[in-house]
């Protein structure tokens, strides 16, 4: 039996997992959460992350973050925080690597477009789709659908969820209804995600030329460290200066998160993961850091995510998703057989099921596949 005995008593313990949807024998040579992570790494959806993006479209450059490299960065940050807090590193790694599996192509633009398309058919939420990928859509095992992950991994993957959807999810949805917390591992991964994307978006924004360093000097936490770097290494410039600045920012955020969370854990004194679920959030930034991160986010929103060149690409991305969806829903004969639905007695139910499968098909596409599929459907020269 695998032991987690260096972990804090309030950490998620593999031996006390709430289990899997389909029960399986306990693994002999790894923990339950290592098994989750291993299943995620071998999944099809995980490989697709390589060609899906967040801010830039995949073909815009080879050095920008993809959802795959983003997920690996989240795992790195989450693991280092988990180790400091004596939380379960295997679980945070599994959650990190799976947290974006349900994302559509083309980042938020794709997600917004697909949600709008699905308005009359139950909507589209990327967190819920990540859960659907690991619960239903992956086809790898003979005895069950999906990856049959542990409750704790699924709980971490489902970061947010509307109340309506929560009611359909049984035990997993309960915390949204009862307003309880997930494990500390889930709370932590959520903030590791934020640390990762805020910082790598600065890096990618500068690399792309859409952001300039002089603009960033208006952001206090960037300016402070940039000056420190200049002072320590006089004459430093270019990529090295940016990199030295960003790594200091990441380090500060991680250190602040560890210290603040340690204090909150000491104050609330949970004895077990059940206590954690019933108490307020314990993984948090200090108020000051939270404020600084907010300023940075606002800066990125105004200057990068809403940059007119990003807007142009997002607009094309939305059109691509919308046109794929609209055409396939109107002409079910164009949908690949795996994603077709046989007709139900009730035509409305048939239409809802059809829309859901088309959403699954589109959400699973990589950026380049979506672009190609759009061409195949709309341009007669393409086959
Ligand atoms: Mg993410």
Q: What is the largest CA-CA distance in the chain?
A: 75
Could you tell me the pLDDT band of residue 237, with boundaries at 50, 70 and 90?
Answer: confident
| pLDDT surpasses 60 at 1 | no
More confident residue, 1 or 256: 256
Backbone angles phi, psi at 308, to 5 degrees: -65, -30
> Which has the higher per-residue pLDDT, 8 or 59?
8
Q: Return residues with CB closer than 5 A to ligand 1 (ion).
A: 100, 193
Q: Alpha helices, DSSP H only, in 7-48?
A: 32-41, 44-48
- pLDDT of 65: 85
pTM of the model: 0.95
Other C-beta atoms within 10 Å of 8: how many?
A: 15
CB 15 within 8 A of CB 33: no
Task: Report the percentage of the chain scoring pLDDT > 70.
Answer: 97
Cβ atoms within 10 Å of 288's Cβ, excluding its own:
10
Instruction: Describe the chain by its helix, strand, coil percentages, rounded to 5.
Output: 65, 0, 35
Q: What is the mean pLDDT of residues 50-61?
A: 78
Q: Which whole number is the average pLDDT over 263-286? A: 97
Which secondary-structure segment (H or E) carries 255? helix 238-268
Distance 101 CA to ligand 1 centre (A): 9
State in Å: Cα 56 to ligand 1 middle: 14
Say if CB 321 and CB 117 are below 8 A apart. yes
Distance 114 CA to ligand 1 centre (A): 18
Give me the sign of the Cα torsion angle 44, 50, 55, 57. Answer: negative
pLDDT for 61 beyond 80? no
Confidence check: pLDDT of 4 > 70: no
Distance 357 CA to ligand 1 centre (A): 24
Q: How far is the CA of 232 from the centre of ligand 1 (A)?
A: 33
Residue range 344-368: mean pLDDT, rounded: 94
């Amino acid at each position: 039996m695998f032991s987690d005995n260096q972990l804090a008593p309030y950490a998620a313990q593999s031996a006390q997992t709430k289990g899997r949807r389909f029960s399986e024998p306990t693994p002999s040579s790894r923990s339950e959460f290592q098994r989750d992570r291993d299943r995620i790494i071998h999944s099809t959806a995980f490989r697709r992350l390589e060609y899906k993006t967040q801010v830039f479209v995949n073909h815009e450059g080879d050095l920008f973050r993809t959802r795959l490299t983003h997920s690996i960065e989240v795992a790195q940050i989450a693991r280092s925080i988990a180790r400091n807090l004596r939380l379960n590193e295997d679980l945070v790694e599994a959650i990190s690597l799976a947290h974006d599996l349900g994302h559509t192509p083309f980042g938020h633009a794709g997600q917004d477009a697909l949600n709008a398309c699905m308005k009359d058919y139950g909507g589209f939420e990327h967190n819920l789709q990540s859960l659907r990928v690991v619960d239903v859509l992956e086809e790898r095992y003979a005895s069950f659908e999906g990856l049959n992950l542990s409750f704790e991994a699924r709980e971490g993957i489902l970061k947010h969820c509307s109340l309506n959807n929560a009611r359909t999810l049984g035990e997993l949805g309960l915390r949204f209804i009862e307003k309880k917390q997930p494990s500390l591992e889930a709370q932590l991964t959520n903030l590791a995600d934020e640390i990762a994307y805020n910082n790598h978006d600065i890096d990618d924004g500068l690399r792309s030329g859409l952001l300039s360093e002089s603009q960033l000097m208006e952001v206090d936490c960037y300016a402070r460290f940039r000056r420190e770097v200049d002072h320590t290494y006089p004459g430093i410039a270019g990529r090295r200066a940016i990199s030295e600045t960003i790594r200091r920012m990441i380090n500060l955020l991680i250190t602040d998160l560890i210290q603040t969370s340690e204090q909150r854990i000491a104050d609330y004194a949970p004895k077990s993961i059940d206590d954690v679920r019933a108490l307020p959030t314990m993984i948090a930034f200090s108020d000051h850091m939270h404020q600084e991160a907010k300023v940075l986010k606002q800066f990125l929103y105004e200057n990068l995510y809403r940059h007119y060149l990003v807007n142009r690409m997002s607009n094309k991305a939305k059109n691509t998703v919308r046109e794929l969806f609209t055409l396939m829903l109107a002409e079910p004969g164009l949908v690949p057989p795996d994603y077709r639905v046989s007709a139900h007695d009730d035509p409305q139910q048939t239409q809802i099921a059809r829309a859901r499968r088309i959403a699954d098909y589109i959400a699973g596409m990589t950026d380049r596949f979506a672009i190609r599929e759009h061409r195949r459907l709309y341009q007669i020269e393409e086959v």
